[in-house]
Amino acid sequence: MADRFHFSKRKVTIAIFVIATTGLIIFCFNLHLQSSAFHRPGNEKKKQGFTDSHRFPVPIDEPSCSPPVDRVVLLKNHKAAGGTLAAIIGRYGYRKDLDFALGKSGPFYETTRLIPFSRKTVLHFKNFDQYGYQMLTSQARYNRTELDYVVPNAKYISIIRNPVNHLESVFGFFRMGKKFKLTEFENPLEEFMKKPDFYLNQSALEYNLPSKLLNNGQLFNFGMEPEDMLNSHKVKRKLAEMDSEIDLILIAEYFDESMILMKRFFCWKLSDILYLHENVRNRSEKARYEISPSLEEKILSWNAKDVIMYNHFNKTFWNKVKEYGPSFEKDLAEFRRIQKVDCKTMENTFKVQNLCEYLQFRNTRLLREIKFEMTRRSGPPDGFLGW
């Protein structure tokens, strides 16, 4: 009896020793992995501050719900604050090491701009095979079947802009005045709007992206074909589809309000929605156009379908603000108070050294870094997703 007891005690001791040693080895190995990631040449800056949660800005609030939403498709419209929003969502995903759906190239790793989104344009990383990707913030024209395949079980979010501001912005950003040879006019946009169909009918520009964006370009991004927009039943059906399929449609003109709604909807923290403006036009460099009341009328009627859409979702937006409850104003004021502070002085609130640097991570740089990190996690992409 005593012998057997003795024997099993020795066995237990050995077992404990083995477990402890294995644990120690795994622990050290992990440390090694982490430190090698931190010390990759040229990557120190990025890694020193905000990749792991305990180093990231100490949130001054906690979400009132959980778990946070970690699967997001951003349907990004051109020139509708989509870049700013993509950077906010991108920073969140980057910090949490989420896997992104990325197109093959270009500063935004775009997938498709003129044709509807297809999985075939998305890079295949090994990690995809486990549970799909978690985020998409690159430009993609809406096709739900395809998007669902690439980013399963995601929340869908988008942001739209007043069609008058949107047209002016697209026209200026893509230098359409020059493309339509209207630069000798004092107001090229006004000239263009005198006969937009004529200018757009010039064959060289017909299949050009900005041309599509000028005429109800936001509905175009949501997947509508221009010829279908002539049919008001189809437009109505599209709005109903968007109502039921897109979880949250935000409004560029009310960007801060939008962030408050998004934060609640995603169960994120205040520190997750901080931003600097992205891709804002340099006024002296790129044109801005005077919009007279008569020009505004013309734009509203030429882009009437986008106007219908905008008004519809402006209503649902403010309904959501109402549903948010009485703390909305207070939360908004708090957010604005923090936003107003220069990020250099924000350190005090957030108790970190490098919040500025973090917030200056814009969309293009983020996507590059995200691609780098995905490659580190699951090897380089080996082609595109397919059937």
Ligand X SMILES: *[C@@H]1O[C@H](CO)[C@@H](O)[C@H](O)[C@H]1NC(C)=O
Residues that bind ligand X (CB under 6 A): 116, 143, 145-146, 162, 197-198, 201, 253, 282, 284-285, 314, 318
Closest by CA position to 121, among listed 154, 90, 92, 143: 143
User: Minimum distance between the CB of residue 36 and ligand X, rounded to whole angstroms?
Assistant: 38
Q: How far is the CB of 54 from ligand X (least distance, A)?
A: 36
Q: Please, what is the minimum distance in Å from the beta carbon of residue 282 to ligand X?
A: 4
Nearer to ligand X, 257 or 272 (CB): 257
Choose between 15 and 114: whose C-beta lies nearer to ligand X.
Answer: 114
Minimum distance between the CB of residue 69 and ligand X, rounded to whole angstroms?
A: 24
386: Cα separation from own chain's centroid = 24
Which residues on neighbouring strands pair with residue 123, listed in sequence order?
Answer: 384
Question: What's the one-letter identity of residue 364?
Answer: T
In the complex with ligand X, the residue whose CB is nearer, 8 or 145, is 145
Output the smallest distance, CB 198 to ligand X, in A.
5
Q: Which is nearer to ligand X, 233 or 283 (CB)?
A: 283
Give the residue with the Cβ less far from ligand X, 84 or 162: 162
Using alpha carbons, select from 58, 56, 52 the residue that is nearest to residue 35: 52
CB of 131 or CB of 318, closer to ligand X:
318
CA angle 158, 193, 181 (to 5 degrees): 105
User: DSSP H helical segments within the chain, as ranges?
Assistant: 2-38, 44-49, 82-95, 128-131, 144-150, 163-173, 176-179, 188-194, 196-200, 203-206, 209-214, 217-221, 232-245, 255-266, 293-302, 304-324, 327-340, 343-350, 355-359, 363-378
- Strand 72-75 and strand 135-136: the pairing is parallel
Q: Which is nearer to ligand X, 199 or 266 (CB)?
A: 199
Q: How far is the CB of 143 from ligand X (least distance, A)?
A: 4
Question: What is the CA angle 363-368-373, rounded to 5?
Answer: 120
CB of 32 to ligand X, least distance (A): 43
Shorter beta-carbon distance to ligand X: residue 63 or 116: 116
Q: CA nearest 244: which of 138, 113, 144?
A: 144
CA–CA gap between residue 54 and residue 240 (Å, rounded): 43
Backbone angles phi, psi at 231, to 5 degrees: -100, 110
Give the strand pairing for 248-251 and 135-136. unpaired
CB of 145 to ligand X, least distance (A): 4
